[in-house]
Amino acid sequence: MLITTRRLFAVLLLPMFLVLFVATLTVFRVNATLLEADFYTDTFERLGVYEFLYADALPFAIEESGVDLAALPLGLDLTPDGVAGYVARVLPPEWLAENLGGAIAQAVPYLTGETDSFEITLRLDDRVEAADVVVRDLLRDARIHAYLLDEVVRPRLDESKETLFAGLPFNPGLTTDQILDGVKDVVPEEWLKQRIEDVLDQVVPYAVGKTDSFAVHIPLQERADVGLGVVAVWLNLSLEGGGAYDYLLEEQIAPVVRANLGSAVALPYGVEVTDAEILDAMSQVLPPDWVQERVTDAIAAFGPYLTGRTDSFVLSIPLQDRAVLAADVLVDAVDAKLEAVYTALPICTLEQLGDVVSSLSLTELPECRPAPISYAALKSIVNLNVVDELAAAIVDQLPDAIEVTERSLLDAFGDAPGGVSVDVVRGYLRDGYTFTDGDLVGLFENFDAGDTDFAARLDEYRGYLRDGITFDDSSLAAELGDNIELFDDVRGWVDLGRSLLFLLIVLLGFIALIVGFLGGRRWGTRLAWAGVPVLISGALIGGIFSAASGPLRAFSDDPIRDLDVTPVLIDKLLDVRDDLVASFVDPIATQGLVTAALGFVMIVAGSFWASRRRVTFAPATAAPTSPLAAEHAGAAGRAVDEAAEEPPAEEPPEASPEEPAGVEETPHEEAEAKDASEEQEEEGPAKPSAGA
């Protein structure tokens, strides 16, 4: 085959080498980056992704979300940076880096077929405990007490204050502010926060599986004592509206009066005092200070019973002194009634006068009124003392005191709201209220009658918090179902492809070897020709990718900078862009230039080798004496040079003795002369030997 044709085929192989070279560099770069777990973790660390996430990205995301932090409940004073700080305390950057790095280290080798299994476990117990600390700090700084009173309790009171006390045996007539002041005394802010911390002390260890149960105990007896004092204040305040006053008069005194006196009290001469008049007189002798004393007595008697310190109580309300005072109030009215009855009698005649005067008494009203005897004179004659009469008719008939027991009071008050009996309330106030894990399960099951598996799900959730959340190859298989076989096939192909990447290098070397054998006739020229595609491809790729680095950065600048995001995020996106270029484009450019340098070395080494071998094998013969001899000498020298690199050709048959040697050239000699001519064209004229 002519050397020109061979070299034409060698040149035609150059584009194939170039395309394969680009593909090889790209595949090896992807293999060294995207298919290696270290690439992701190193990139995240190099770019400071985790620190950026908390310092810039999260605050920006909160601002863009439109969440009004000032409107959050519990009076929390939060800012985007503050929220990010709390999140960083619960999920610190180092924890995120460790867990994400561990997940990548497990997932990438599995996805590339390097391993046949993986297990990613996310531990949450320590994060729950960290969240517990953060919640405690938030509650300490939060205005939770004021929030509950102003935003929760006050609106409910404004809506239902009128009906709130409707079922009570007295009407306190309290304002919303008065009620809230009492609630603040019964449930102070520090006590409320301490109870919340008690809940966290019990629930958090239970949630993370350190304990198998919890019992949150809330002591109430001390707060009940304070509450009774508040009730006493409320009752005293209600005196202006008649609450406690009316209760004592109508619910305690009036029934006793009616039971002991009936509907009316009979006095001399048929005069009657009704129970209404008696109660009206009683109402005039129940001053506020006396009612306050009764309220104090009631609290002193009822308080120990309500808080469980005693099992019964007796409240004594003195009645005799009030009855005496009421009788004094009634004296004038009764006296006026007696006088009216007496003066309404007809005047006695002279015939009647003697008999009537002699028969005047308290037991019977006379038939007529003696004109000389006035009402005052009559009282003196019959010894009428209105006070004594009232005392005998009213005071003596009433008990000295009214006794109120727990039974009568409970009958008046009825059960507590929600149908809870007073005995249950007393038990809570005595022993405190305890909420357990069993109560929690019952609460949710009662809330949703169809939910009977809450206990099992609760244990499952606690297991996640205790042992962590684990996702492994079996979990993935369950998620993919029938597609797992295809997924495993893809993993196998990726793994096989990675293991056969060296064949791309072998193929490139094979193409370069073919180019060398097609383009060169000796080992030196073959090496030089093999270096040509290496040099050209390396130089092209190195130059293109080196030149592309800047335009790629410039081309992506405007789209990134035009994003409607915070400038800090834009700067980070530019950093990511630069890092990706440095991870993919720059290494390929460097590898191309290194390859070009290798091709250049091959060409130089091959050329030097070829020139050295021509000098080494040049024959040192005497100068020919004729042109024909000179031609044979040059051909012989070239033949010796070729013999060092190529296998010897078959020797021509020996000439017959009859043929004169050196007179005619054989076909073999002609071929040698032709090859020598072609090589002369390729390499230039042979240097004369030293002998020449």
Rounded to 5 degrees, what are φ and ψ at 364?
Answer: -140, 135
Distance from CA of residue 683 to its chain's centroid? 79
DSSP class of 253: I
Which two three-digit tokens encode residue 58? Answer: 């999260």
Which two three-digit tokens encode residue 6? Answer: 């061979």
Q: What is the mean pLDDT of residues 221-237?
A: 83
* Residue 506, pLDDT above cutoff 90: yes
* C-alpha to C-alpha distance for 530 and 132, rounded to whole angstroms: 70
175-196 confidence digits (pLDDT tens): 888 888 888 999 998 898 899 8
CB 583 within 8 A of CB 33: yes
* Residue 565, pLDDT above cutoff 90: no
Place 305 in a pLDDT band, splitting at 50, 70 and 90.
confident
* C-alpha to C-alpha distance for 580 and 34, rounded to whole angstroms: 11
Count CB neighbours of 65 within 10 A: 9
pLDDT at 165: 64
Place 625 in a pLDDT band, splitting at 50, 70 and 90.
very low
* C-alpha to C-alpha distance for 204 and 214, rounded to whole angstroms: 9
Q: What is the mean pLDDT of residues 234-258?
A: 74
List, in sequence order, the alpha helices (H) in 33-121: 37-47, 49-52, 58-65, 80-90, 93-111
Among 456, 593, 566, 674, which residue's Cα sits nearest to residue 58? 566
* C-alpha to C-alpha distance for 50 and 70, rounded to whole angstroms: 27
Place 616 in a pLDDT band, splitting at 50, 70 and 90.
low
Crossing angle between the packed helical segments 275-284 and 254-261, to the nearest 10 degrees: 140
pLDDT at 412: 60
Q: What is the mean pLDDT of residues 637-663?
A: 40
The H-or-E segment that residue 248 falls in is none
Which two three-digit tokens encode residue 247? Answer: 């209760």
Q: What is the mean pLDDT of residues 600-629?
A: 65
DSSP class of 691: -
pLDDT at 674: 46
Mean pLDDT value across the chain:
80
Which two three-digit tokens encode residue 555? Answer: 């081309």
**What are residue 434's DSSP bridge partners?**
217
CB 338 within 8 A of CB 386: yes
Count CB neighbours of 679 within 10 A: 19
Among 678, 617, 667, which residue's Cα sits nearest to residue 645? 617
* Residue 660, pLDDT above cutoff 50: no
Crossing angle between the packed helical segments 523-561 and 502-519, to the nearest 10 degrees: 130
Which two three-digit tokens encode residue 47? Answer: 């770019």
pLDDT at 423: 79
pLDDT at 623: 43
Which residues, at least 6 apart from 285, have a Cβ–Cβ distance to it below 8 Å? Answer: 322, 325, 326, 329
pLDDT at 17: 93
Instruction: Report helix, strand or coil for 405.
Output: strand
Among 212-226, 415-429, 444-458, which range has the highest average pLDDT?
Answer: 212-226
Dihedral of alpha carbons 544, 545, 548, 550, sign: negative
Count CB neighbours of 477 within 10 A: 14
* Residue 198, pLDDT above cutoff 70: yes
* C-alpha to C-alpha distance for 300 and 132, rounded to whole angstroms: 42
Place 649 in a pLDDT band, splitting at 50, 70 and 90.
very low
pLDDT at 281: 87
Place 103 in a pLDDT band, splitting at 50, 70 and 90.
very high
Place 381 in a pLDDT band, splitting at 50, 70 and 90.
confident
Which two three-digit tokens encode residue 325? Answer: 């005072």
524-544 burial code (b ≥16 CB/10 A, e <16): bbbbbbbbbbbbbbbbebbee
* C-alpha to C-alpha distance for 298 and 169, rounded to whole angstroms: 14
End-to-end CA distance of the chain: 33
pLDDT at 233: 80
pLDDT at 646: 44
Which two three-digit tokens encode residue 335? Answer: 């006296």
DSSP class of 452: -
pLDDT at 595: 92
Which residues, at least 6 apart from 242, have a Cβ–Cβ distance to it below 8 Å? Answer: 171, 173
Place 568 in a pLDDT band, splitting at 50, 70 and 90.
confident
* Residue 223, pLDDT above cutoff 70: yes
Place 497 in a pLDDT band, splitting at 50, 70 and 90.
very high
Among 338, 305, 530, 475, which residue's Cα sits nearest to residue 407? 305
pLDDT at 227: 86
Q: 293-307, 476-490, 512-526, 640-654: which range is least confident on average?
A: 640-654
Place 452 in a pLDDT band, splitting at 50, 70 and 90.
low
* C-alpha to C-alpha distance for 74 and 148, rounded to whole angstroms: 7
Place 164 in a pLDDT band, splitting at 50, 70 and 90.
low
The H-or-E segment that residue 264 falls in is strand 264-266
* C-alpha to C-alpha distance for 483 and 466, rounded to whole angstroms: 32
Instruction: Report helix, strand or coil for 119.
Output: strand
The fraction of the chain above a pLDDT of 90, given in percent, is 22
Which residues, at least 6 apart from 690, have a Cβ–Cβ distance to it below 8 Å? Answer: 620
Q: How far apart, in Å, are the Cα atoms of 549 and each of 19, 203, 476, 544?
A: 20, 57, 40, 9
Domain residues of the chain, as ranges?
3-35+497-616, 55-212, 224-419
Instruction: Output helix, strand, coil percentages for the chain, rounded to the nearest 5.
Output: 70, 5, 25
List, in sequence order, the alpha helices (H) in 271-319: 275-284, 288-306
pLDDT at 25: 93
Q: What is the mean pLDDT of residues 547-560?
A: 82
pLDDT at 141: 79
Q: How far apart, in Å, are the Cα atoms of 339 and each of 97, 375, 392?
A: 105, 6, 19
* Residue 647, pLDDT above cutoff 50: no
* Residue 503, pLDDT above cutoff 90: yes
81-94 confidence digits (pLDDT tens): 888 898 999 999 99
683 against 387, higher pLDDT: 387
* Residue 654, pLDDT above cutoff 80: no
Q: What is the mean pLDDT of residues 159-165?
A: 71
Q: 25-29, 53-57, 548-552, 620-624: which range is least confident on average?
A: 620-624
| Residue carrying structure tokens 């305890």 | 434
Which two three-digit tokens encode residue 121? Answer: 């476990």
Pairing of β 469-472 and β 401-405:
unpaired
pLDDT at 239: 64
Which residue type is seen at 309?
R
Among 78, 113, 142, which residue's Cα sits nearest to residue 497? 113
* Residue 572, pLDDT above cutoff 70: yes
Q: In this structure, which long-range contacts are made by residues 84-88, counting pairs with CB atoms below 8 Å and at least 24 apart in sequence?
A: 84/54, 84/55, 84/58, 84/59, 85/54, 86/134, 86/138, 87/54, 87/58, 88/54
Instruction: Report helix, strand or coil for 434.
Output: strand
Place 491 in a pLDDT band, splitting at 50, 70 and 90.
very high
* C-alpha to C-alpha distance for 451 and 455, rounded to whole angstroms: 9
413 against 598, higher pLDDT: 598
CB 573 within 8 A of CB 512: no
Q: 107-111, 137-141, 336-340, 498-502: which range is least confident on average?
A: 137-141
CB 607 within 8 A of CB 524: yes
Place 269 in a pLDDT band, splitting at 50, 70 and 90.
confident
* Residue 268, pLDDT above cutoff 50: yes
